[in-house]
C-alpha cells in the first residue's frame, strides 16, 4: 500500500513563529487531506488538497503531486495551534480510502 511519511515528528515553537510541515507519499494520489487533532482528540479538516495551493487564514498548503509531497504552512503560530497535524492520502482511485501519516506533534509555547 501507499506509504505516508511526515516530518518533523515533533516541533516546538514560540508563539508568533512560522513553521512548515512536510508530507511525502510513495505513489500518485487522488486525495490528500490535512487534519489537525486538537488536545481533546477532535480531528478537524484543514485542507482537501490533492494538488495546487490553498490558503485559509494563517494556514496554507501546497501539494506538488508530480513530486509526491505536500507542505502545510502555519504563520504567526498561536498556542491554540498546538496538537498533532496529520496528512492523509488515497491512491485507490475511489478517493475514499485514506491512509494517514504518523503525524507532526506541534507545541506552541506562550
Partner 1 sequence: DAGVIQSPRHEVTEMGQEVTLRCKPISGHDYLFWYRQTMMRGLELLIYFNNNVPIDDSGMPEDRFSAKMPNASFSTLKIQPSEPRDSAVYFCASSLIPGTQYFGPGTRLLVL
Residues that bind partner 1 (CB under 8 A): 30-31, 33, 35, 41-45, 48, 50, 86, 88, 90, 94-103
What is the closest distance, in whole angstroms, from the C-beta atom of residue 110 to partner 1 in the complex? 26
Q: How many helices (H) and strands (E) does the chain have?
A: 0, 11
Nearest CA to 35 among 10, 6, 64?
Answer: 6
> Closer to partner 1 at the Cβ: 96 or 110?
96
> Closer to partner 1 at the Cβ: 13 or 85?
85
Nearest CA to 98 among 26, 30, 38, 42?
Answer: 30
> Closer to partner 1 at the Cβ: 48 or 78?
48
* Cβ contact 10:103 at 8 Å: no
Q: Give the SS3 label for residue 93.
A: coil
What is the closest distance, in whole angstroms, from the C-beta atom of residue 85 to partner 1 in the complex? 12
What is the closest distance, in whole angstroms, from the C-beta atom of residue 96 to partner 1 in the complex? 6
What is the closest distance, in whole angstroms, from the C-beta atom of residue 17 to partner 1 in the complex? 27
CA distance 71 to 22: 5
Amino acid at each position: 500500500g501507499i506509504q505516508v511519511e511526515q516530518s518533523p515528528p515533533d516541533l516546538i515553537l514560540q508563539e508568533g513563529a512560522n513553521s512548515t510541515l512536510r508530507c511525502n507519499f510513495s505513489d500518485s494520489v487522488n486525495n490528500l487531506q490535512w487534519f489537525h487533532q486538537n488536545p481533546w482528540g477532535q480531528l478537524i479538516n484543514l485542507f482537501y488538497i490533492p494538488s495546487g495551493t490553498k490558503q485559509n487564514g494563517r494556514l496554507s498548503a501546497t501539494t506538488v503531486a508530480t513530486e509526491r509531497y505536500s507542505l502545510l504552512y502555519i504563520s504567526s503560530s498561536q498556542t491554540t495551534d498546538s496538537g498533532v497535524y496529520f496528512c492523509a492520502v488515497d491512491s485507490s482511485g475511489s478517493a475514499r480510502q485514506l491512509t494517514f501519516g504518523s503525524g507532526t506533534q506541534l507545541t506552541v509555547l506562550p
